[in-house]
Amino acid sequence: VAGAAAWRARGTARPAAVGEDVAGGAVELEERGLIDDLLSELGKQAYYLKMQAQLEAAEAKYNGTTAKAFATMSKLTYCGPRPGLYGAVSMSCSTVNLPGAASACEKAMFEVVPGTVKFLTNGDPGEYVDAAFGYAARLRTKDKDAAIKEGGVMLVFRGSVNTIKSVESDKDVSMNSSMTGCSGCKVHDGYWESYAGLKDSIFRAIGEYWCTPWDKTCTIYVSGHGSGAAVATIAAWELSRAGYQVGASYVFGSPRIGNFELAKRLTAEFSGEPTTWFSRPQGPIFQVTYRRDSVPRWPYGAKYAPWGVEAHYDSLNSSDPQVCYAGLKQCGVRKIPKSSLELPDHCKSPLADGKSFCEFADWGQMCYGGLGFEVTRHLHSLMPWADAFKQPEEEQAADWSPSEKDGFQKNTLAKARDPSEMYSLKVLRAFATLAKISYCGELAGLRSAVQMSCSGSYGPCSAAGFGVVPNT
């Protein structure tokens, strides 16, 4: 701090040291008009090179087997708040008693404790929730050499799905200063709002696992895909600020979530090394990316910055990713020309079950029936003629493209609220259905007609992502 004051006294800007408390310093620099020098491209590159050296220890901790288990748990969030999710998580992350088969978690030497899965939602778990959804689970190890600690807690968050609200949240690229204990940090409004909606259920679930701040016996792990990865990162920061221990975690296809100051603080916090002599090491959090995925480069523009350690796979058959500091231009997706980025690669991953986060072999058997990935595959091998219940389109991972048109413009937020983008044929059909039922008048069957036409997992209202609350 004294050194920072000396630099300010000489009127010279310099990048903050890793873990340095920049409270007040960044504000003073900004007031004196020197913040632009600090955030110049040259200054950023010098900082990135410095961090590359400091993150070598974190890179060595990358574990592909554990990452695959985290990918399995992240994919399951696309079940949404369905009754089968409890069983699907437990069965997909446990010992599989099938010849020649083993779950991803079993290979990583840990499993979910049965009966401990809890929904993370900002509404009634029985209702459809747009982007803000996740689940928590208690973990136990099956071997002393497991990368996961005994009694850990996993928090997993769903990415965006094909609904208006979900895509609008992604496009809300304005920023706010809500991150706890992070002076000068700016975070993506949409992702912060998603986290804020889940905050109460996150801390409630952790408390129900008897996990408390500064508890050395309880480690928190986070994961998620797409915008779910962004929410997981925000949750990890907030939990760390609240005194919880965050363990080595893996997130997939994460977009950028904030400005350069936030990127610096996240990189220092989740490098796997203590930021001060008296603090505990947090993380590391590995950002796993695939090939030419455009989402990890979005939002475009200088206001948003990459952070942390990236593990980049360039093939679905690859088992040897490039592990590097995400801020370097030759690292991962940053080395891909922006014109060559592709949205379809966002769903793909050599680590996800079936090599895709977005496609299920039988969504119905898993998300309603509660069966795990391995068991579902086994049943299909025994009954190849059986029809699989496909995932509804509006509950699949969002397929909007983070292009220049959508992301890199001053009026992005205004465009996200454009009426033409709000139009939905599915919602129109649902409203037309309800309007037609009104011609029943005051007949006794009106209530049941409305409820049967606009509830459950089928019908026009379900396709539009909403339903009628029973008996209202």
Cα–Cα distances (Å) from 380 to 85, 201, 207, 368, 385, in that order, read 19, 36, 39, 16, 8
pLDDT in tens, 280-309: 888 899 999 999 999 999 888 778 999 999
Residue 258 domain flag = yes
Please tell me the predicted confidence (pLDDT) of residue 386. Answer: 67
User: Residues 434-457: what's their mean pLDDT?
Assistant: 82
Residue 209 domain flag = yes
For residue 295, what is the domain's CATH number?
A: 3.40.50.1820
User: Is residue 346 pLDDT above 60, yes or no?
Assistant: yes
My answer on whether 362 and 434 are in the same domain is no
Please tell me the predicted confidence (pLDDT) of residue 185. Answer: 96
Residue 363 domain flag = yes
User: Is residue 198 pLDDT above 80, yes or no?
Assistant: yes
- Look over the chain and give the mean of its residue pLDDT values, rounded to a whole number: 80
Confidence of residue 449 (pLDDT cuts 50, 70, 90): confident
Cα–Cα distances (Å) from 150 to 142, 218, 282, in that order, read 9, 8, 17
Confidence of residue 251 (pLDDT cuts 50, 70, 90): very high
User: Is residue 126 pLDDT above 70, yes or no?
Assistant: no
My answer on whether 406 and 456 are in the same domain is no
Structural domain count, the chain: 3
User: Residues 69-96: what's their mean pLDDT?
Assistant: 91
Token output for 341 = 């980025």
CB atoms within 10 A of CB 11: 8
Please tell me the predicted confidence (pLDDT) of residue 338. Answer: 85
User: Is residue 319 pLDDT above 60, yes or no?
Assistant: yes
Most confident region among 31-40, 76-85, 165-174, 426-435 by mean pLDDT: 76-85
Residue 45 domain flag = no
Q: Tell me the percentage of the chain whose pLDDT exceeds 70.
A: 76
Please tell me the predicted confidence (pLDDT) of residue 421. Answer: 52
Which of the two residues, 86 and 132, has the higher pLDDT score?
86
My answer on whether 141 and 194 are in the same domain is yes
CB atoms within 10 A of CB 371: 21
Token output for 416 = 């996200």
Which of the two residues, 182 and 422, has the higher pLDDT score?
182
391: left (phi over 0), alpha (psi -120 to 50) or beta: beta
My answer on whether 429 and 402 are in the same domain is no
User: Residues 28-46: what's their mean pLDDT?
Assistant: 53
User: Is residue 169 pLDDT above 90, yes or no?
Assistant: no
My answer on whether 450 and 308 are in the same domain is no
Please tell me the predicted confidence (pLDDT) of residue 22. Answer: 37
My answer on whether 212 and 105 are in the same domain is yes
Which of the two residues, 375 and 70, has the higher pLDDT score?
70
Single out the residue of 330, 285, 331, 328 nearest to residue 61, CA to CA: 285
Instruction: Give the phi and the psi of residue 251 in degrees, each rounded to 5.
Output: -120, 160
**Structure-derived torsion over alpha carbons of residues 378, 381, 386, 390, reported in degrees to the nearest 10:** 60
Single out the residue of 450, 440, 457, 444 nearest to residue 471, CA to CA: 450
My answer on whether 285 and 359 are in the same domain is yes
User: Is residue 466 pLDDT above 50, yes or no?
Assistant: yes
Confidence of residue 29 (pLDDT cuts 50, 70, 90): very low
My answer on whether 396 and 433 are in the same domain is no
Please tell me the predicted confidence (pLDDT) of residue 2. Answer: 43
User: Is residue 93 pLDDT above 70, yes or no?
Assistant: yes
Please tell me the predicted confidence (pLDDT) of residue 31. Answer: 38
Which of the two residues, 305 and 444, has the higher pLDDT score?
305
User: Is residue 274 pLDDT above 60, yes or no?
Assistant: yes
What pTM was computed for the model?
0.76
Confidence of residue 35 (pLDDT cuts 50, 70, 90): very low
User: Is residue 365 pLDDT above 80, yes or no?
Assistant: yes
Residue 27 domain flag = yes
State the residue range of the domain holding 221. 57-415
Please tell me the predicted confidence (pLDDT) of residue 413. Answer: 42
Residue 44 domain flag = no
- Low-confidence winner among 122-136, 239-253, 257-271, 321-335 (lowest mean pLDDT): 122-136
Single out the residue of 281, 152, 296, 297 nearest to residue 220, CA to CA: 152
Residue 330 domain flag = yes
My answer on whether 405 and 444 are in the same domain is no
Please tell me the predicted confidence (pLDDT) of residue 19. Answer: 39
Please tell me the predicted confidence (pLDDT) of residue 388. Answer: 67
My answer on whether 278 and 392 are in the same domain is yes
My answer on whether 388 and 455 are in the same domain is no
pLDDT in tens, 388-439: 667 776 677 776 666 544 433 344 444 444 555 556 677 788 888 889 988 8
Residue 468 domain flag = no
Please tell me the predicted confidence (pLDDT) of residue 458. Answer: 62
My answer on whether 187 and 84 are in the same domain is yes
User: Is residue 159 pLDDT above 50, yes or no?
Assistant: yes
